[in-house]
Chains A and B, each alone.
Chain A
Amino acid sequence: MANVEVSESQKKGGKKAIRGKKRDTRIDMTPMVDLGFLLITFFILTTTLNQPQAMDLIVPAKEDVLDNEQDRNKVGDEQAFTILLGANNRMLYYEGLFTSNSDELKPVEASWGTGENSIRAALVRKSRERNPRYDQIPVLQKQLNAGQISEEEFREQVTEIRSYKQGAIVMIKASPEATYENMVDILDEIKIANVGIYAIMEITPQELTMLEETFN
């Protein structure tokens, strides 16, 4: 520990003290290392190294709502794909529009994640069914990864494919029991499945009944 003190005892040894004594300049660094690492630990624990992620959400302007009401009628029966978020992280989807002959609508329960009856599979299937160019997106992605096309080119083409007018139109409707997480997750699924046109809408009483009937 105390090498500095050693020279102290040598002093008494005799003549040698007269000569300029050689002091041991080694200092024990251990406490300093301790201190250094303690501070590092402190800073690691208190810092937020990376910014949290964020997801963009664009909602239609309020003024557009009236126009949307008319637009909604333009949504073809075969294009419509509605997702209903219910309680306990469960959800339903049905294809087609809610009209008077709603008996024909077949609500299907979908699961999260991947798998045969997952919502992702359903979204991919519907998009592919409606959009003849849908399968080009992964091809473009591959080309982008291989460096054959530029980032802008990729984005431009994907946007064009996604905004195909006759493509699937996904409507997301959350019941009051759904959580915020469900909403974020479903928006994520939509992004993953490359769905072009989607909207968050208010759930109708009929749809609430549908949720109840299917889950109970």
Chain B
Amino acid sequence: MAKVKPKRKSTWVDMTAMVDVAFLLLTFFILVSQFRPEEVVTVTPPSSTSDAKVPEGDLIQITMDGEGRVFFGMAGKNNRMQMLDNIGEARAIEFTEQEKEEFSLLENFGTPLKDLKSYLASGKEARKNYDQSTEGIPVDSNNNELEYWIRAAKGVSRQAPVAIKGDRLAKYPVFEDVVNTLRDLNENRFKLVTGSEGEQVAFVE
């Protein structure tokens, strides 16, 4: 007796619905996404239970990496251009239009002023190498360039909030130097960027 052959079912699946879903999600992610700005150093901030957000807008960000180097950055291309103008004026350095353009593309930098011009003139690869080996922005009391930069940035926008983003392993004296610099400039209120940890409550019976 011939066996009844199971009917071959078509494996065709209608994908239209799936395409719809895929593109819907795609649209969502495109709309909500903000590209992570390229960072010259990677830092892992410590976590805290704080639920406040880092303010947006003209944020001034001071980054400390694990080796104690300090980097500086300000949000906004135009802000950065103005900031370079300000610092050029304050430190009597002339910057060309091209240098300004290059500078305005830097989200973060850890270049002492004396190297800034050569840094701006160099290419991408050279910059990467430089970022690896740089000492960061000097914060010591006899040559506090961080102070100049904060002044320049505050000259662009007086209300700009200041955030400190430090690596977990950054040593405390670096943080102290940064805080003291801010205090010298009468910036007594700032944010510490941290990862989130969820809320915790002290145990009280």
Residues of A within 8 A of B (CB): 26, 28-30, 32-33, 36-37, 39-40, 43-44, 46-49, 51-62, 85, 114, 120-121, 123-124, 128, 135, 137-138, 141, 174-185, 187-188, 191-194, 200, 202
Contact = CB atoms under 8 A, between A and B. Distances in A.
A56 B189 contact: yes
B54 A36 contact: no
A187 B175 CA distance: 14
Residue from A29, A114, A124, A177 whose CB has the most chain B CB atoms within 10 Å? A29
Contacts of B167: 180
Interface stretch (B33-41, B122-130, B135-143): B33-41
A191 B15 contact: no
B51 interface: yes
Residue from B22, B166, B191, B197 whose CB has the most chain A CB atoms within 10 Å? B22
Contact of B35 (A39, A46, A180): A46
B188 interface: yes
B172 A176 contact: yes
A188 B204 contact: no
A200 B192 CA distance: 14
Contacts of B183: 59, 61-62
A40 B171 contact: no
A110 to B, nearest CB: 14
A51 B53 contact: yes
B26 A47 contact: no
Nearest to B201: A192
B186 interface: yes
A43 B188 contact: no
A114 B171 contact: no
10 contacts: A40-B22, A47-B29, A52-B54, A53-B48, A55-B50, A57-B190, A62-B186, A178-B171, A179-B171, A181-B169
B49 A192 contact: yes
Contact of B48 (A37, A176, A188): A188
Chain B interface mostly? mixed
B200 to A, nearest CB: 5
Contacts of A44: 29
B195 interface: yes
Interface string B174-205: 11100100111010111111111100111110
Given A29-B16, A174-B172, A180-B64, A48 B34 contact: yes
Nearest to A200: B179
Given A47-B33, A180-B170, A192-B200, A55 B48 contact: yes
Contacts of A48: 34, 36
A175 B172 CA distance: 7
Nearest to B200: A192
A53 B33 CA distance: 17
Contacts of A174: 172, 176
Question: 6 nearest interchain CB pairs?
Answer: A36-B22, A29-B15, A47-B33, A43-B29, A181-B46, A54-B191
B192 A55 contact: yes
Contacts of B35: 46-47
Contacts of A61: 183, 186, 188
A29 to B, nearest CB: 3
A58 to B, nearest CB: 5
A124 B203 contact: yes
Contacts of B203: 114, 120-121, 124
Contacts of B182: 59
Nearest to B51: A53
A192 B49 CA distance: 8
